A and B are shown apart, each in its own frame.
Chain A
Amino acid sequence: MPQFEDIASFPSQLFWLLVCLVVLFVVVSRFAIPRLADIMEKRQKMIDDDLEQAERLQAQTESAIAVYEAALVEARTAAQASIRSVSEKSAQEAERRTSEVNSRLANQIREGEARINTLREQALSNIRSVAADVATGIVSRLAGLTSVPQARLEKAVEDAIKEN
């Protein structure tokens, strides 16, 4: 086999092997590996960047949603507050009007009662004088007493009214 017989070719094979290996090593280590590593690194970086951006956008979306929800809650509470204040105000208004009406009515009742009282007193005093007159007439007609003192007669009438 030439592999074992052709010893004279060994130096040439070894020389060219050395040359080619060294050149290939330079090609691989200075050219192929850096370029390939660079390509793959860039790709990895791009993927990482994209993922990072996606994460950032996701966070932005979430914060926007949070802001929106906070605004919604705020609007809802504001609406409820205004509803409450309006209803409170109207309740106060109604109360105020009721009390006004009540007081007016009370006034009128009081006035009416006062008038009734005065009228009743007037009527009562009229009744007394009428009763005294009637009593005077009755006394003079039945007993023929004309000189009954007015004061005594009135006293008697008064007593009679009180008894009733």
Chain B
Amino acid sequence: MASPVEQFRIQELVPLKLSENIDISLTNSALMMVIGVFVALLFFWIATARRTVVPGRLQSCAEILYEFIANMIRDNVGKEGMRYFPYVFTLFVFVFLGNFIGMVPYSFTYTSHIVVTGALALTVFAVVTVIGFARHGAGYLRMFFPKGAPIATAPILIPIELISYLSRPFSLAVRLFANMTVGHIMLKVLAGFVVSLGALGAASWGLGYLGAFAAFSMVAGITVLEFFIAALQAYVFTILTCIYLNDAINMH
């Protein structure tokens, strides 16, 4: 049986090479990203096609999504944060769709790869830092030593603040990647139990069937849990982005 991490293997679908070393082939991961973008496009297209005053189901969903992200920014960043609404909206949709497309059997979870989540997190980090320096200039360095703190605490406070600031992209990237990876491994392992215990069923006076049934129930339960985590992690990624944006715009 394949290893539980086999599902994360990148498979080349359409070979494409820029040069000898740079391979930008269309892979299963890339295909899912493209599908995600198409799903988003299709969703927004159909949802806003009729533009009814009393929204239908899909339009309601789109409006709820819009209001959800808009409120998240308004509550966490304030009115000024609405300038970055499209960016935050894109991030949420991309991560959300990545997590959910990954829940489809035989598909691929592109958010389970540290390269992808790391790139997303570093982008957030870079954007936030640029915004911070653009708005406050050198004053943004105050982030690492808040006003009112005793000067004697500087040798301790500044390194701590610096490390916590610099560790943001890592925590952001690892949280999403680890949640997705672990969930999928867990599903794979438990589903493997169903098969292997089921195979033992007849030879073990039916005990194997019992075990297989227990494992199957867990797979079912964890599948539900994974759907929840898929939504939750997209939310966490987005709200942390909002909180970092708030730090950059309003300082703290």
Contacts and interface: CB of A to CB of B under 8 A. Distances in A.
Interface stretch (A40-48, A83-91, A142-150): A40-48
Contacts of B30: 12-13, 15-16, 20
Interface of A: 1-4, 6, 8-17, 19-21, 23-25, 27-29, 31-33, 35-40, 42-43, 46
B8 A28 contact: no
B25 A20 contact: no
16 contacts: A2-B5, A3-B115, A13-B113, A15-B24, A17-B116, A24-B36, A24-B40, A24-B90, A24-B93, A27-B44, A28-B90, A29-B90, A36-B63, A39-B48, A40-B63, A40-B66
Given A2-B10, A12-B10, A28-B40, A35 B48 contact: yes
Contacts of B86: 25, 28-29, 33
Interface residues of B, number: 46
Contacts of A17: 33, 110, 115-116, 119-120
A10 B119 CA distance: 10
B214 to A, nearest CB: 28
A11 B24 contact: yes
A99 to B, nearest CB: 83
B37 to A, nearest CB: 5
Given A3-B177, A15-B30, A25-B90, 9 more contacts: A1-B181, A6-B10, A9-B27, A12-B16, A17-B110, A20-B30, A20-B37, A28-B89, A28-B93
Contacts of B106: none
Contacts of B48: 32, 35-36, 39
Contact of B181 (A3, A10, A32): A3
Given A21-B94, A29-B90, A1 B5 contact: yes
Nearest to A37: B66
Given A15-B24, A33-B85, A9 B53 contact: no
A13 to B, nearest CB: 5
